Amino acid sequence: MLAILSYAPQSAAQDVQRIAAVVNEEVISIFDVQQRIRLLISSSGLPNTNETRRRIAPQVLRSLIDEALQSQEAERLNIRVSQAEIDAAIGRIETANNIPAGNFETFLERQGISLSAASEQIRANIAWQKLLSRSVVPTIEIGEEDIDSVIERIDATRGITEYRVAEILLPIDNPANARDIHALADRLVGQIRGGADFRAVAQQFSKSASAATGGDIGWIQPGELDPALNAAIAGLETGQVSDPLDVPEGLQIIALIDQRTNEPPDPNDRMVSLRQLLLALPGDAGQADINSQLQVARTIASSVRGCEDFAAAAVEAGTPQPETPATFQLKDLNAQLRALASELPVGQASEPIQNAGGVQILMICERQENAGPDRNEIRETLLRERVGMLSRRYLRDLRRAAFVDLRV
C-alpha cells in the first residue's frame, strides 16, 4: 500500500500528485510524504535506501496527519506564526547542524527537498508550541509540595546510582498500526546502533515532549520510570541503546547517556554574588595609618544598606565597581573569605578585614542557601513532563474527532 511513497520517482507527476490522505478538508499528497521522508532521512542520519523509506513511510504519513490536525487547531484558536519566527527557527537549525548562516535552502536543495516542505514542518511545530503555551501551560500548577516531594526522594536515595537517560516515544493509538510501529522501532534501534545520531532521530520521530531536546529527560533514579524502563536502564552500559520497550502509551527506546552516584551536596558548591571595597595602604604604613583606614572602613560599613549603597560608597572611596556583583562558588574563595561569605547576612557590610593590600570590606548581594537540587530546574522538569502528557492527550482527542481518509 505505502510502497509508492518510497519508490515513486519524483518526476512521475501522476504519482506525486496523488492524494495520500485527507484530514478534515486538508489534502496531504504523495509528494508531501516523499518530501518529508527526504527531510527526515537527511536530518536523522538514517541510510537513504529503499528499505529505509519503506519502513518509515507509515510514520511519516502519521506525522503529517498529526501536524495537519495541530495546524488546524491552532488556526481555529487564531494562533499565527510569523515569518520572523520561522526565520529564527531556521537560524537555530543552521547553527545546530553547522550550516553556514543563510544556506539552509541550498542545503535542502542538495537533498532534493523543497524549502516549503521544511518550512511547513517548522511552522506547524511553532504553532503547536504556541498553542500549548496559551491553552495548556496555564492549566498546570507545580506546587512547592511537588518540588519538596522530588527533593525528599533525592535526599532519601543518597549513595544510589542515578542515570541520565534519553528517550524516543512511539505511541500506538490504533492497534491496527502496531505492527508498522514495531517495525519502525526495530529499524530505528538498528540504525542508531549502527551510528545514526540518537538526538536527531528523537527530534524527528519521538512524540514525547523531550523530542525538542533530542530525547534527553535528564537524571533519573531507580524506580522513577515505568518498571520495564527501569529494568532496561539497569542492564545498559553508558552509551548503549535499549531494544524497543512496551509501555502503556506504545513503544519506547531508551539510551543511557551517563550515570553517577547521588552524593550529598557540598555546601561549598553554593554560589555567592558579592561586592568588595579596598582602602589601600602603602607597604610601609605605620599603625596610625592602619588604624585610620580601619576607622574609615567601619564608618562606611555602618552607613551602607544593600549592594547599591555599598557600590556607591566603594566608588566614592576609590574602588571602581563592575556593573554587576562578582559571582563565585564558595569553594573558589580563600578560607577566610569563604567563612565570612558563608555566614554574613545578605545586604550587610562585613567588619573591616586587614590584609597585605590594605583594609577590605565585603557585602554579600545574593547567596544560594541550599547546595542541593535547584528548585527551578525541578519545577521545569515537572512542567515539561506534564505538558508532554497533556499534549499527547490533546492530540489524541483531535484525532478521535477528525475525519481522516487514508488513500494509500
Give the pLDDT of residue 16. Answer: 56
What's the CATH fold of domain 159-263? Chitinase A; domain 3 (3.10.50)
Give the pLDDT of residue 242. Answer: 94
- What does the block give as the cell for 166? 534519553
- What does the block give as the cell for 332? 573558589
Question: Are 159-263 and 267-367 the same fold in CATH?
Answer: yes
Give the pLDDT of residue 280. Answer: 87
Buried b (16+ CB within 10 A) or exposed e, 166-193: bbbbbbbbeeebeebbbbbbebbbebbe
Give the pLDDT of residue 15. Answer: 54
* Angle (deg, nearest 10), helices 306-316 and 287-303: 150
Give the pLDDT of residue 9. Answer: 45
Alpha-carbon distance of 365 to 307, in angstroms, equals: 6
Residue 42 phi, psi dihedral angles, 5° rounding: -65, -40
Q: Give 405's strand partners.
A: 22
Give the pLDDT of residue 10. Answer: 46
Show the DSSP H helices in 111-197 as ranges: 115-131, 144-155, 178-193
Q: Which CATH number fits domain 267-367: 3.30.450.40, 3.40.50.300, 2.30.40.10, 3.10.50.40?
A: 3.10.50.40
Burial class (CB in 10 A: 0-12, 13-18, 19+), 274: buried
Buried b (16+ CB within 10 A) or exposed e, 303-328: ebeebeebbebbeeeebebeeebeeb
Domain boundaries, the chain: 1-156, 159-263, 267-367
**pLDDT by position in tens, the chain (length 408):** 444 444 444 444 455 578 999 999 899 999 999 998 988 888 777 788 888 888 788 888 988 999 999 999 999 999 999 999 999 999 988 887 788 888 999 988 888 888 888 898 899 989 999 999 999 999 999 999 998 888 887 777 777 788 899 999 998 877 887 888 898 899 899 989 988 889 888 888 888 878 877 889 888 877 677 777 888 888 899 999 999 998 888 899 999 999 987 676 678 888 899 999 999 888 788 888 889 999 999 999 999 999 999 999 999 888 889 889 999 989 888 888 888 888 899 999 999 988 878 899 999 999 887 666 678 888 888 898 888 889 988 998 999 999 999 887
CATH of segment(s) 1-156:
1.10.4030.10
Residue (of 58, 257, 262) closest to 151 by Cα position: 262
The owner of cell 527506546 is 253
pTM over 0.85: no
